Structure 1
Amino acid sequence: MQTPPYLTPEALTTFIRTALAEDVGDGDHSALAAIPAEAHNRAHLLVKGEGILAGVELAPLIFHAVDPSLRLDVRLTDGTPVKHGDIAFTVEGPARSILTAERLVLNCMQRMSGIATYTAHLTSLLAGTKTKLLDTRKTTPNFRLCEKWAVLIGGGVNHRFGLFDMIMLKDNHIDYAGGVGAAIAATHDYLRRTGRQLPIEVETRNLTEVQQALDAGGIDRIMLDNMKPAQLREAVALIAGRVPTEASGGITEQTLAEVGATGVDYISVGALTHSAPIIDLSLKAY
Structure 2
Amino acid sequence: MIVFTEEEIEKIVTDDVPYFDLTTTILDIGDKEGIITYTARHEMIICCTEEVKRIFKKFDIETEIFKPSGIKISRGETFLLGKGKAESLHKIWKATQSLLEYACGIATKTYKLVSLARKVNPDVSVVTTRKTFPLGKKICIKAILAGGALPHRLGLSETILVFGEHLNFYGGYERFFQDLEKIKKRAVEKKITVEVKDMELALKAIEAGVDILQLDKFSIEEVQKVVNAVRQKQVNIKVAAAGGINESNIADYAATGVDIIVLTCAYFGKPADIKVKLGPIL
TM-score range, shorter chain: 0.7 to 0.9
Task: Classify the secondary structure of the residue corresponding to 1:172.
Answer: helix
Letter paired with 1:239? V
Residue in 2 aligned with 1:49? 42
Letter paired with 2:225? E
Deviations 1:159-183 (A, max 9, x none): 1112222222223223333323545
Tell me which of 134, 137, 140 is aligned to 2:130. Answer: 137
Deviates more, 1:72-81 or 1:248-257: 72-81
**Given that residues 55 and 150 in structure 1 are in contact (C-alpha distance below 8 angstroms), is that contact kept between their aligned partners in structure 2?**
yes
Residue in 2 aligned with 1:260? 254
Give the greater-gyration-radius structure (CA): 2
- Once the two structures are TM-superposed, the CA of residue 199 in structure 1 deviates from its matched residue by 4.1
Q: Relative to structure 1, is the Cα distance of residues 161 and 30 closer, same or farther in structure 2, using a 3 angstrom cutoff?
A: farther
Are 1:60 and 2:53 counterparts?
yes
Unaligned runs of 5+ in 1: none
Are 1:105 and 2:96 counterparts?
yes
Letter paired with 1:179? G
Letter paired with 2:227? V
How many equivalent residue pairs? 273
- Once the two structures are TM-superposed, the CA of residue 52 in structure 1 deviates from its matched residue by 1.8
Q: Aligned-pair RMSD on alpha carbons?
A: 2.7
Query: Aligned equivalents of 1:110 and 1:262: distance in 2?
Result: 34
**Given that residues 106 and 266 in structure 2 are in contact (C-alpha distance below 8 angstroms), is that contact kept between their aligned partners in structure 1?**
yes
Letter paired with 1:137? R
Are 1:276 and 2:279 counterparts?
no
Deviates more, 1:176-185 or 1:70-79: 176-185
Are 1:78 and 2:69 counterparts?
yes
Tell me which of 229, 234, 237 is aligned to 1:243. Answer: 237
Q: Relative to structure 1, is the Cα distance of residues 232 and 26 closer, same or farther in structure 2, using a 3 angstrom cutoff?
A: same
Residue in 2 aligned with 1:202? 194
Query: Aligned equivalents of 2:105 and 2:257: distance in 1?
Result: 28
Identity %: 23
**Given that residues 89 and 278 in structure 2 are in contact (C-alpha distance below 8 angstroms), is that contact kept between their aligned partners in structure 1?**
no
Query: Aligned equivalents of 1:13 and 1:199: distance in 2?
Result: 35
